[in-house]
Amino acid sequence: MKFSSFGKFFIDTIFPKFCLGCGKEGEFVCQDCISTIEILEYQFCPFCKTQKRVFEKGTCKNHRKKYLNGLFAATSLDDPLVKKLIHNFKYSPFLKELSKPLAYLIISHFLLSENKLIHKKNNNKDLIIPVPLTNLKKRQRGFNQSELIANQISTFLKAAVVSNALIKQKKTMSQTSLSENERKENIKNAFFVKNPEKINGKRIFLVDDVFTTGATMEECSKTLKNAGAKEVWGVVVAREMLKF
């Protein structure tokens, strides 16, 4: 047994992993539990208050002037297990290993959707950019959860992850407890592009963990497009599902 394998065996023995869904020992989420999560087959307009299905255009005709071109959301934030996985990933105990099953949900959505945008890859024009944290927030957490997910899906998308182009320059309040208008104001002018030449003319897949009102992604998209990005498509694990 190699030392690294022995070390992993030792750690797993002292600190065993238990499924956050059923409690079974072995993984933080077992295959049986992750298979119960419903994967969304279609894309919906990110900005409508109802589930308005869209296709390659990404948004409904009423929201074509938005900076975000469209959204790929793997599943619903209403799912209790999904919510639990994301919480344990982002907050204490900060289970970094959950980036793999969360990315698996996104890739499952890509495959199920059969969206031409995903399956018609262009290595020279596509980039993956994670929604950034401030340096202080990243130090406190120890990692950027969006960056870990981005790294996991990069092979599937056949696109490079660029983590040093979009920078969060302003400390903001947590968006969780704010209203939609407060979120927009809170995140306003929070980002800038450090290396515009890296994104000029590119199609960007902007990765985050969740999508609620869209204030953060829209502000990021605005910053990226003003710096020369051609298109910006959101990619998230889960979104708040709206009414039909």
Query: Tokens at residue 207, please?
Result: 């990765």
Q: Could you report the per-residue pLDDT of 43-63, keeping only the tens digit for each?
A: 999 999 888 999 788 999 999
Question: Residue 10: which pLDDT band, with cuts at 50, 70 and 90?
Answer: very low
Domain range enclosing 138? 24-239
155 in any annotated domain: yes
Query: Of 184, 162, 155, which is closest to residue 229 (Cα–Cα)?
Result: 162
208 in any annotated domain: yes
Query: CA-to-CA distance for 196 and 205, rounded, in angstroms?
Result: 16
Q: Could you report the per-residue pLDDT of 174-233, keeping only the tens digit for each?
A: 887 788 889 999 999 999 999 899 999 999 999 999 999 999 999 999 999 999 999 999
pTM of the model: 0.91
Number of structural domains found in the chain:
1
Tell me, what's the pLDDT at 6?
44
Give me the torsion for CA of 196, 227, 208, 180, rounded to 10°: 150
CATH of the domain at 213: 3.40.50.2020
